[in-house]
Amino acid sequence: TDVMQKICTAKIDEEDSPDSINYGQLVKSMIDTRRKEGRLYVDATPANAKIRILNITPPYSRGMALAPGPYTVEISAPGYVTVKEQLTLDMNEEKTVAVRLVAVPTAPPEKARAAAPVPKEEYIPPQKEFIPSPVPKPEQKPALSSDQAKYLRLLDSNNVREQRDAARLIERGRVKDPVVLDAVERALLRGYKADSSDRDHIDAMSWLCKALGSSGQSKYRSTLSTVAQNAPHKKLKGYAEKSLNEL
């Protein structure tokens, strides 16, 4: 075969001295055909739809090679409802996603109204002046503190390492801020279902469970129970159950 032809056999040199023989090296020329990246194919209708992968910088091209992990794909076109697809690409996987956009509904034209007959003038008694009640001003939300802004920026990102680091700080610092803990809950619900073998992703989801467990707030029991029952990874289920028992 071609591979066997590329393997050089051992070469024996002449003796340099009695009872001494130098051997040449066995040189192996093997081509490692293994690859780790998967490939993504998006078939969109209409054909002029724009396709973007939101959590990477390079623009999408059909059949592009991507590292294994979770991705968010956005498909949009003028006059159509934009669609966002959450998917996970495994090692060496060639995934094809078919998306058919739905046209934005247009309001039907109003039917021409028939001209109403002009009524005779009637006496209308004067009415009391109507004074409208004052419109209540919308309640303004308080500005975020610097710590809240820092945690929310990390937790709402698509970078699992940043989410893991934020959850670790929250858990070890015993943070009780409801704004921050609600962001932890959102990040956990958004990512725990991803069936990814990426170790960083599983670690990040596990630390988010621990952060909710250390909060001491029973309102997060439902979320941790859902993760413990439905998470695709045994390790993540274990952390969810342990954190649930802390509440």
Grade residue 127 by pLDDT with cuts at 50, 70 and 90.
confident
Read off the pTM.
Answer: 0.43
Partners of 41 in the beta sheet?
96
CB count in 10 Å sphere of residue 188: 28
pLDDT at 28 over 50: no
Grade residue 103 by pLDDT with cuts at 50, 70 and 90.
very high
Q: What is the DSSP letter of 28?
A: B
Q: Which residues have C-beta within 8 Å of that of residue 172, sequence separation ≥ 6?
A: none
Domains of the chain: 38-100 (2.60.40.1120), 146-245 (1.25.10)
* Radius of gyration of the chain from its Cα atoms, rounded to whole angstroms: 32
- What's the longest Cα–Cα distance across the chain? 138
Phi first, then psi: what are they for 100, rounded to 5°? -115, 115
Place of tokens 């390790």: 235
What integer pLDDT is reported at residue 56 of this predicted model?
93
pLDDT by residue (tens digit) across 197-217? 889 999 999 999 999 999 999
Q: What average pLDDT does range 141-168 have in this prediction? A: 89
